Amino acid sequence: MRLHVAADGTVERLETGADPGPNDRRLDGVVLPGAVNAHSHAFHRLLRGRTHQSSAAGDSFWTWRELMYTQASRLTPELYERVATAVYAEMAATGWTSVVEFHYVHHAPDGRPYGAEDGGPHAMELALARAARSAGVRLTLLDTVYLAGGFGLPLQPEQQRFSDGSAHAWVERLASLRDAVAERFDARQVRLGAALHSVRAVPPEALPEVAAGIDAVLGHDAPVHVHLSEQVAENEACLAATGLTPTGLLAEHALLSPRLSAVHATHLTDADIALLGAAGATVVMCPTTEADLGDGIGPARALADAGVTIALGTDQHAVVDPLLETRALEHGERLASRRRGRFSPADLTTAMTSGGRAASGGTIAGAAVGSLAVGEPCDFVVIDSRSTRTAGADPDQLVLCATASDVTEVLVGGRTVAAHGKHAQLGDPGALLARAVEDLR
């Protein structure tokens, strides 16, 4: 197949049965659409290899969270840009061509907005956007509202920098951020969306103002994400405070819709699954993170059967490999059901690619990524079909045997951003990460 690339980085024309010509550039391998990472917390990469096993008795998600807060407290805009640049370069090298960043570290550690000397009130957000531009990946930046430490609980000291203090203040900052992003970045590179951190972090009485603010500032088609039912304790607290499950609470406030992405959705009732399916929502599964944190195995097959779109994300970046994340989705289903083939290879490829497009509101920064077709961006991943891991595999089953080590080239907009594990402009992501982590510590 010969692909003709337009000047804007989209597929202009496709020819099948074409013989290579002297001016052609050959992509040697099986070509898939670029993977879309539908859930990322870039700074969580600092936890890799340091929090997988705690010496404390009763190690859990909640003890891990305290270690995460420690890393968040050390971030400055300058350091966060370096960390995020390295993380996004690692994504590019492994086959993620787009990322949806669920961002909530907004202010200085004491909760005060950054001043002009530190880059202004949007210093952290703009640092992430610059990092994505440097790494050559498309970014949907989800600015997150975070107002409480739990149902009826004030913010903890380490959560102060996540909060604007009120829904009104968050909406005002979101509007200002929208203008700042539009002024500085190409809309094809960076798109702004919104997120509620969780139902425990946004009081029920604030939900109407948050929802109205998102519509007013970003429009009715902007993507909205929320961490949902990752932990049984969250469900229990929500039931005790409101009489509803987290999904039921969102439904009561008309927040379930096709633009909503529920992240994790691990512990759902049958009624929750039906509500998400009827709304045409997306669920972003993060299988390697959910395994590392001991969250549990979410009901992915039941959700898909109910009409939910399944997308994939790397969340805390314990693993940054779209093929392993994709495979873990199927393996989790097999472990839970004791049956094979819960998702076909085509289903898995869709979750890895166009499922993430749904989680970003239909486009990533204005580009309808996730497919290989005329008019679509030339965002591709080339997989070696003759490696130690893949030799002899059927092409359509590569997602069940290949890893990021088999990714030979990654293109965004028709331009090579990485090849054989190295970033085209930034070099070895490992060296970038090592320097950033060293300086932070």
153-208 pLDDT per residue, tens: 999 999 999 999 999 999 999 999 999 999 999 988 999 999 999 999 999 999 99
Pair of tokens at residue 224: 């909205």
Q: Domain 34-377+430-439 in CATH: superfamily?
A: Metal-dependent hydrolases (3.20.20.140)
Q: What is the pLDDT of residue 368?
A: 59
pLDDT of 323 > 90? The answer is yes
Q: How do the domains of the chain map onto residue ranges?
A: 34-377+430-439
Q: What's the mean pLDDT when you consider all of the chain? A: 94
Q: How confident is the model at residue 324 (pLDDT cuts 50, 70, 90)?
A: very high
Q: How confident is the model at residue 49 (pLDDT cuts 50, 70, 90)?
A: confident
Q: What whole-number distance in Å separates Cα of residue 271 and Cα of residue 275?
A: 6
> If you write DSSP's letter for every residue of 297-328 in order, what string do you get?
---HHHHHHHTPEEEE--BT-S---HHHHHHH
- Select which of 272, 315, 321, 384 is catalytic: 315
* Residue 344 CA, distance from chain mean position: 23
CA-closest candidate to residue 51, choices 36, 65, 38: 65
Q: 438 burial class (0-12, 13-18, 19+ CB within 10 angstroms)?
A: exposed
Q: What is the pLDDT of residue 376?
A: 86
Pairing of strands 35-40, 282-285: unpaired
Q: What number of other Cβ atoms are within 10 A of residue 10's Cβ?
A: 18
Whether 196 and 167 have beta carbons less than 8 Å apart is answered as: no
pLDDT (tens digit per residue) in 96-147? 999 999 999 999 999 999 999 999 999 999 999 999 999 999 999 999 999 9
Helices 322-337 and 345-352 pack at an angle, to 10 degrees, of 130
Q: What is the mean pLDDT of residues 266-271?
A: 98
Q: Catalytic site residue 315?
A: yes
Pair of tokens at residue 25: 């550039």
Q: How confident is the model at residue 66 (pLDDT cuts 50, 70, 90)?
A: confident
* Angstrom distances, CA of residue 290 to CA of 51, 61, 264, 286, 319: 14, 10, 8, 6, 11
Q: Name the β-bridge partners of 409.
A: 382, 419
Whether 356 and 312 have beta carbons less than 8 Å apart is answered as: yes
* Angstrom distances, CA of residue 359 to CA of 115, 305, 321, 348, 419: 33, 18, 18, 15, 27
Encode 373-400: b = buried (16+ Cβ within 10 Å), e = exposed. eeeebbbbbbbbbebeebeebeeeebbb
CA-closest candidate to residue 226, choices 253, 200, 206: 200
Whether 152 and 200 have beta carbons less than 8 Å apart is answered as: no
Q: Catalytic site residue 227?
A: no
Q: How confident is the model at residue 437 (pLDDT cuts 50, 70, 90)?
A: confident
- Select which of 264, 267, 317, 423 is catalytic: 264
Residue 8 phi, psi dihedral angles, 5° rounding:
-90, 10
Q: What is the mean pLDDT of residues 342-346?
A: 96
Higher pLDDT, 375 or 225: 225
